[in-house]
Chain A
Amino acid sequence: MTHLGYLLVGWGVSLGALGLYAVRVIQRGRQAAARVPANRRRWLASEDAS
């Protein structure tokens, strides 16, 4: 495969950046949710009622 270095850098940085953002947003959500009273986490009441 030609240009393998370029390919790995391009794909790696892309997937890495999106992955990091995903991890960060989930972490931020957990931290914030832990501090908000349960009765105000509104979407969960409707969807995760199971």
Chain B
Amino acid sequence: MTTPAISEAPVHTRSTTSRLLGVAVLVGLVALVVLGFFGAPEDDEQADAVRLIFVHVPSALLTYAAFSVTAVGSVMWLWKRSVWWDLVAHGSAELGVIFCGLTLFTGSVWGRPTWNTYWDWGDVRLVTTLILFLLMIGYLAVRSMGGDESAIATRSAIVALIAAVNLPIVNRSVEWWFDRTLHQKSSLTDGNLEDLTLFTLLLGVVVWSIFYVWAMIHRFRVGWLERELRVGDLDLAIEQRRAEAHAAGDGGDQ
């Protein structure tokens, strides 16, 4: 109790940076909704269903970005035993699972009016993303298994690596399996998107990315605080453990 600042010290995980990012996300979201629903023109083939890609494509991109970060963090944990990277890997995996779930969900919702089906097994990206989703559910399951902290970090890091190296194989195998794909072959580069549609899509990606950074900052701090708590608990536990010795030493020995 040496610091006088206890009452002043903020009891949250916010900082100036995260607050600015948070405001940017909110402003961006308003712009995205306005542009997405009223600005961007409807598509010749997909009509208004095209407006779902403004949430679908950013989610998909962020899914892969988030899991890449998890993979990097996992390697760094195994290599340097860096707790910092372990927290990053964990937080990014959580966000990745959410983005991945949203990708699959919005994809299905979009697929129904556009392809006339919620799900298509012949689509490489769809199936690959589903497998990735299942793998990362497994990752979070390993995370929650409890036990020794560094053992959890190591186990989950290896799960992330297994997922990372196997994902390209999954992708290849699905691609050969059905040698066709329903997905728009890189509609971004075809140049047949309207300018405003393209702009809205990019805006979506930007907003989603800022949200990711914002959430990562908070999630990292939460992880770090919870770790601090455990470290504090540990100091306490060691003291209690030693006290046990005195109790036994005074009475029990013969």
Contact = CB atoms under 8 A, between A and B. Distances in A.
A contacts B: CB pair < 8 Å: yes
A18 B15 contact: no
B105 A48 contact: no
The SS class assigned to the A binding surface is helix
Contacts of B248: none
Interface residues of B, number: 50
Contact of B11 (A2, A10, A17, A33): A33
Nearest to A26: B218
The SS class assigned to the B binding surface is helix
A48 B9 CA distance: 9
Most chain B CB within 10 A, of A17, A25, A30, A36, is at: A25
Interface stretch (B80-88, B160-168, B220-228): B220-228
A6 B110 CA distance: 7
Interface of B: 2-3, 5-6, 8-17, 29, 33, 36-37, 42, 47-49, 51-52, 55-56, 59, 94-95, 98, 101-102, 105-106, 109-110, 112-113, 211, 214-215, 218-219, 221-222, 225-226, 228-229, 232
A25 B52 contact: no
A32 B12 CA distance: 8
A32 B9 contact: no
Interface of A: 1-4, 6-7, 9-11, 13-15, 17-18, 21-22, 25-26, 28-30, 32-41, 43-44, 47-48
